[in-house]
Amino acid sequence: MEHPASTSGSFCSQDGTRIGYTRIGSGPAVVIVHHSLATGANWMAVAKILASDFACYVLDRRGRGSSGDAPNYSIEREYEDVEAALTMAAGTPGKQAGVGASLIGHSFGAVCALGAALKLPPRRMVLYEPPLAAGGTVAGTYLPEYQAAIEAGDRDRAIEIGFTHFASVPPSRVRLMRGTKEWAEARELAHTWTREIDALERHGPSLERYRSLRVPTLLLLGTLSAAHPLRDTTEALAKTLPDAKIVELAGQGHLANERAPELVASRIREFLLT
């Protein structure tokens, strides 16, 4: 199957940071916001499949890929990045521009999507396992240890701490991940995880701020994903958001976008075309 050609572009976020994206396909606009320790490239397999029905705008979140960064980080700037992307993708400037585009967010990118949607609701929204602290702390007592490893230049140790204690990956599997492509990608972007985990801790366990968000929302959940903070947050959001439903990805975990892109794309397509 031949995929349509993709093009690269960028836009300026509210604080002046240049945010890059890849556009592929034609049809209703969909903005895709990727997960931690990744770039937009990690979602291109799904975007290529969706491109037959949608114009996909696959972002590189700030501080990675083709995007710039700012000296001082705040998750509110990431919300603004997504808002600007929705406006750009919808093609109409103004407060209500985002209603013309749908929004897909994965993991920390799903947290960014939620924050943006509160200010500029998309047409529809897909959230794949946002790791909020609905079931308790995400970092536990390990964030200082992670940061110390980063500052010492020991990114392998930092990633080991993060996968084990932030992402709830069993230690036996963490050992098997060393030397893989996934490990190398995580190592490259390990310094960006500190600020994201800190933002999750600052968010706290309450999801009440999202109760007014009446956007039709699909919550994707892997049947093999960790109970905390992935399943508990997804289930809590299903009870909090006024118009949300959970669809499970059988036999998949947190990275089905890479390991089963056809499955993920089919679930997204069905929901967005409803």
What is the per-residue pLDDT across 11-59, written as a single tens digit (0 to 9) for each? Answer: 999 999 999 999 999 999 999 999 999 999 999 999 999 999 999 999 9
Stated as kind and residue range, the H or E segment containing 20 is strand 18-24
Residues 116, 220, single domain; the answer is yes
Region class of 232: left (phi > 0), else alpha (psi between -120 and 50), else beta: alpha
Q: Which of these three, 158, 178, 198, is where a domain ends?
A: 198
77 & 174 share domain: no
DSSP string, 171-239: HHHHHHHTTSHHHHHHHHTHHHHHHHHHHHHHH-S--GGGTT--S-EEEEEETTS-IIIIIHHHHHHHH
Task: Indicate whether 101 and 162 sit together in one domain.
Answer: no
Note down the domain range covering 215.
Answer: 6-134+205-272
pLDDT band for position 161 (cuts 50, 70, 90): very high
**What is the predicted pLDDT for the residue at 96?**
44
pLDDT per position as a tens digit, 206-251: 999 999 999 999 999 999 999 999 999 999 999 999 999 999 999 9
Does one domain contain both 213 and 122? yes
Residue 49 in any domain: the answer is: yes
The answer as to whether 1 is a domain residue is: no
110 & 243 share domain: yes
* Predicted local distance difference test score (pLDDT) of residue 93: 44
Q: Are 129 and 247 in contact (CB under 8 A)?
A: no
Q: What is the pLDDT of residue 2?
A: 64
Say yes or no: 51 and 75 in one domain.
yes
Tokens of 166: 């932030």
Cα torsion through 232, 73, 22, 256, rounded to 10: -20
Here the CATH number for the domain that contains residue 109 is: 3.40.50.1820
Strand, coil or helix: 47: helix
Residue 2, phi-psi category: left (phi > 0), alpha (psi -120 to 50), beta (remainder): beta
> Does 190 lie in the same domain as 211?
no
Indicate whether 241 belongs to any domain.
yes
Statement to judge: residues 217 and 191 lie in one domain = no
| Same domain flag for 116 and 222 | yes
Domain count, the chain: 2
User: 156 and 265: one domain?
Assistant: no
> Are 10 and 114 in a shared domain?
yes
**Are 124 and 158 within one domain?**
no
Q: What is the largest CA-CA distance in the chain?
A: 50
Question: Is 164 among the domain residues?
Answer: yes
Once rounded to an integer, what is the mean pLDDT over residues 109-138?
A: 97
Q: What is the mean pLDDT of residues 253-259?
A: 97
Residue 242 falls inside a structural domain: yes
Predicted confidence band of residue 94 (pLDDT cuts 50, 70, 90): very low
